[in-house]
């Protein structure tokens, strides 16, 4: 059973930064995605990265502020979040998919438990 464990969430002021980490079991050939779900909203994919790390995609709402990366030697995927706003407040999840390039929630097979990110002054 694949296990994903997120960390790095917390409370940050508007304009601040956070880096989320996702430790995986080491299946480096999988597409990885970062999703978020705010209260009362549907879960959305904010970023995804290819198995080798050369291909990434971002949601329009985070493009230019968030950066997804991975270190396959450490079995870890990262989400660097800059210029955070209160609208970024959500539970953030990492997920794993065998479908290359997808940002569709139903094409991700394994999920972490989520980490809370709160942006507030």
- Give residue 100's pLDDT band: very low, low, confident or very high (50, 70, 90): confident
CB atoms within 10 A of CB 92: 23
- Residue matched to tokens 């450490």: 74
Q: Is 1's pLDDT higher than 90?
A: no
CA distances, 33 to each of 5, 86, 103, 109, 113 (Å)? 13, 22, 7, 11, 14
- Looking at residue 27, its pLDDT comes to 66
pLDDT digit string (tens) for 7-40? Answer: 999 999 999 999 999 999 866 568 999 999 999 9
- Give residue 2's pLDDT band: very low, low, confident or very high (50, 70, 90): confident
- Looking at residue 82, its pLDDT comes to 98
């Amino acid at each position: 059973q694949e296990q994903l464990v997120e960390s790095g969430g917390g409370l940050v002021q508007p304009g601040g930064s956070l880096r989320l980490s996702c430790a995986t079991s080491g299946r480096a050939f999988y597409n990885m995605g970062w999703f978020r779900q705010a209260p009362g909203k549907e879960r959305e994919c904010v970023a995804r990265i290819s198995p080798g790390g050369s291909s990434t995609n971002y949601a329009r709402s985070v493009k230019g502020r968030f950066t997804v990366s991975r270190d396959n030697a450490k079995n870890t995927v990262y989400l660097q979040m800059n210029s955070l706003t209160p609208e970024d407040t959500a539970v953030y999840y990492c997920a794993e998919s065998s479908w290359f390039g997808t940002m569709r929630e139903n094409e991700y097979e394994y999920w972490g438990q989520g980490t809370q990110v709160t942006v507030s002054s």
